[in-house]
Chain A
Amino acid sequence: MDFRLGEKELALKEGIRKFAEAELPPDLVRNTVIDGEFRDFEFEISMSRKLAQRGWLVMSWPEKYGGRSASLLEQTIYEMEIAYWGIPGAWMGISGIQWVGPCLMMFGTEEQREKYLPLIASGQKDGVWCTGYSEPNAGSDFANIRTRALRDGDDYIINGQKVWTSVAHRARWCWLAVRTNPNAAKKHHGISIFIVDMKSPGVTVNPILNYYGRHHFNEVFFDNVRVPASNLVGEENKGWYYLMQSLAFERRSIAPTTYGNLKRILEELARYAGQTEYEGQLLSKNPVVRAKLADLAIDLEVLKMFAFQLAWRISQGQIPVYESSRNKIMGDDLMRQGAIIGADILGIYSQVDPDSKWAKLNGAIQGAYLGFPGQAIAAGTAEIEKSIIAQFRLGLPKSY
């Protein structure tokens, strides 16, 4: 065993710190959890371009698609640091960098790779993706999707509805899961993935505001949307397999980003406790505050090790079975813990609007508090993740 970071990784951390100090406005609101991406689209995309220029945006991709074949360990460090500094624009609409790109490299045609990957890698507006998975009747029961794609000559015609589609209102492309065979023996076997141009006639995007009035996700309607057959990803009706891979990619990056986010929150809370007096005593001397922050720090250390362990396993060429689910549960749990402990420490100020001048710590705690319940549902609820661990790691019988 060896848990040392190499010179490369340490240099990368240092590089990102300098980048953040130079490029981010000092008063940037760091309540990134509630905002997700794309509150200020122009600014975010400008940051994406700068990250691309540094060779960071898609660092783990091969050179021919605009990356520099960085190791997964470097990628993990990068994600931790990006989240720690709250650098926006790192994901190109969440989907593009994390799973669309990697999945196209695994399952796409060379033509698809050459067309779409450079757009993502260079940080352009036309490289922003959304992902169409959930539907009104397909949440955790994802294989129940009904959006239909019917072959028509050289095209497919798509009809149906997606929901909770993050950043669809900014995306140029949709990574869309549809049903191509409604008569398959198992519903998992009739699913395919298509690349859909969001500018196609028949695509309608309606905003769904989250409970804090922020516009992050949408419902998307497909009304006789014509898509060329060359936009099918991999083989028809094999989509479920690609989807599982894409979800594994998505879940992998949750631990590093949550780690970075919370590490910053923990440090800010420790600083705040060291500067705030109550009844003649600094909060940092209060045994309850000390114990709560220490517990958060311990679990954060667990999350860090989980993130590294998963990256290491993938880098050994192994296919992780349950680790992404483990990390997702741990990350979500910790975000909740951090938000609640943070709110406890801020006390009555934890209710202040994160954008208000009254907000402590730039509203980061309110951002986490408002954001964690949503983050915990995206990409698989804790219940789904735990069932995956039980069945695929512990070998317990299927429960559904």
Chain B
Amino acid sequence: MDFSFTEEQDMLRMSAKDFLAKECPKARVREMAKDERGYDPQVWHCMAELGWMGLVLPEEYGGTGASFMDLVILMEEMGRNILPGPFFSTVALCALPLLEHGSSEQKTKFLPQIAKGEAMWTFGLAESSGKHKASEVKLRAVLKGTNYVLQGHKLFVTDAHVADYILVAGRTGEGERPEDGITLFIVDARGPNVKMEAIPTIGGDRQFKVSFDRAVVSKDSILGKIGNGWHIADFILQRAAVLKCAEMSGACQAVLDMTSSYAKERIQFDRPIGSFQAIQHKLADMLIDVEAVQYLLYQAAWGVSVGLPSLWQISAAKAKANEAYQRICIEAIAAHGAIGYTMDHDIGLYYRRVKAAQFAAGDTDLHREVIAAELGL
């Protein structure tokens, strides 16, 4: 058993930390929340040059062939800084399944674009219930000649406005189980009959309703096999759950650090508030939450890294992060007092992003159900 990171991993974390501290200060985060695109193309370009988009992609596709754990480390730092932009949508939701399930033509065509930062992607799964479940996939895809025609809509699609391609889960048939008959399509996000409508969120991130009104997709643009797309969707949800958890882990750490510094500086009753047990115990609880998220995350990420992904460990990590991230933010605001409730303070930036994180890649109910099944219930 080994709980340490390699020297290379420590270096990756340090360089990500340095880059993000410089290029993504909180002023930039605030600016981007109002920006039309929601990300800074200059920063995006630098990230590509640093090899971040292609981190886990093999060299033949322009990547550096790093491990999944390396990506987790990088995304913890992104979460710590609340890096705005379509990195999660492009890499976690799309590049990983393209690499795992794409045809060699698809990989050769799409992955180098992603690695170079030239293409952005996103994934459309949830519909009106917002649930990431096979039974909720109702968007129809009907074969007409050599093309499929898509009819329906997807909700809460992240970064769709800047995406070049959208991976869309559609129903091409029915089977015994709701999982049967789902197909994943690679859809040109700017193609005709694809419409987007922003869903304003409290987090200031970018989510959309994407409607497909007789949108035409060629038969070659299927990821994996017809009717067999759910297991790819499942693959995406699992990997993305770990990576979202990484962002949340970094965010939790940031909020704890911020609060613990404040408790040392803020003087009331002639002494730092951090000398009061009411505040100390709150912070101790926060630390335990932070470390709980970290170790469940590392356990799950390690499994994926060595090719032994454990569905149940992944779900434990995401369910824990969902609960802990929210609690840590709420406790942190309480420890700060009124200043924590202001627009000027950074805590609010984290708190406002809790909900988007909780519902990305499976909500708490979904992940609890995975665990209940594992318990034999």
Contact = CB atoms under 8 A, between A and B. Distances in A.
B360 interface: no
Contacts of A312: 1-3
A70 interface: no
A112 B271 CA distance: 48
B288 A326 contact: yes
A289 B5 CA distance: 38
A309 B288 CA distance: 13
A326 B376 contact: no
A3 B302 contact: yes
Contact of B1 (A73, A386, A387): A73
Interface string A272-296: 0110000000001100011101110
Interface in A381-399: 383, 385-387, 389-391, 393-399
Given A330-B288, A397-B272, A3 B371 contact: no
A298 B320 contact: yes
B296 interface: yes
Given A397-B271, A397-B275, A399-B276, A386 B375 contact: no
Contacts of B287: 326, 389, 393-394
Interface in A184-228: none
A2 B308 CA distance: 12
Interface string A150-168: 0000000000000000000
A294 B320 CA distance: 11
A383 B277 contact: yes
A395 B260 contact: yes
Interface stretch (B204-212, B231-239, B278-286): B278-286
A305 B2 CA distance: 11
Contact of A297 (B260, B365, B371): B371
A393 B287 CA distance: 9
Given A302-B296, A326-B291, A289 B377 contact: yes
A162 B320 CA distance: 42
Interface residues of B, number: 45
A5 interface: yes
Classify the secondary structure of A's interface with B: helix
B295 A298 contact: no
B5 A1 contact: yes
Given A270-B376, A305-B299, A306-B295, A4 B263 contact: no
Contact of A298 (B275, B280, B302, B316): B316
Contacts of A63: none
B372 A1 contact: no
Contact of A383 (B263, B281, B320): B281
B49 to A, nearest CB: 28
B288 A290 contact: no
Given A3-B302, A305-B296, A312-B2, A386 B284 contact: yes
Given A391-B280, A399-B276, A309 B3 contact: yes
Contacts of A391: 280
A3 B309 CA distance: 12
A301 B313 contact: yes
Contacts of B148: none
A308 interface: yes
Contact of B299 (A3, A326, A386): A3
Contacts of A399: 275-277, 280
A294 B369 contact: yes
B230 interface: no
Given A289-B377, A396-B260, A396-B275, A294 B368 contact: yes
Contacts, number: 146
Nearest to A308: B1
* Size bracket of the A interface: 35 or more
Interface string B33-50: 000000000000000000
Interface in A291-345: 291, 293-295, 297-299, 301-302, 305-306, 308-309, 311-313, 316, 326, 329-330
A394 B303 CA distance: 30
B298 interface: yes
B291 A386 contact: no
Contact of A274 (B69, B295, B376): B376
Contacts of A395: 260, 264
Please indicate which of the listed interface residues A273, A284, A390, A393 has the most CB atoms of chain B within 10 Å of its own CB.
A390
A266 interface: yes
Nearest to A1: B302
Interface string B301-336: 011001000000100100110000000000000000
Contacts of B129: none
B264 A396 contact: yes
Given A309-B295, A391-B280, A398-B275, 8 more contacts: A1-B4, A5-B1, A267-B375, A285-B377, A293-B377, A301-B299, A390-B284, A396-B275
Closest 5 CB pairs of A and B: A390-B280, A305-B295, A386-B284, A396-B274, A397-B275
23 contacts: A1-B298, A1-B302, A2-B302, A3-B299, A290-B372, A294-B375, A301-B299, A301-B313, A306-B291, A306-B292, A308-B1, A312-B3, A316-B4, A326-B287, A329-B288, A387-B281, A390-B283, A393-B284, A393-B287, A394-B280, A396-B274, A396-B280, A398-B275
Interface of A: 1-5, 73, 266-267, 270-271, 273-274, 284-285, 289-291, 293-295, 297-299, 301-302, 305-306, 308-309, 311-313, 316, 326, 329-330, 383, 385-387, 389-391, 393-399
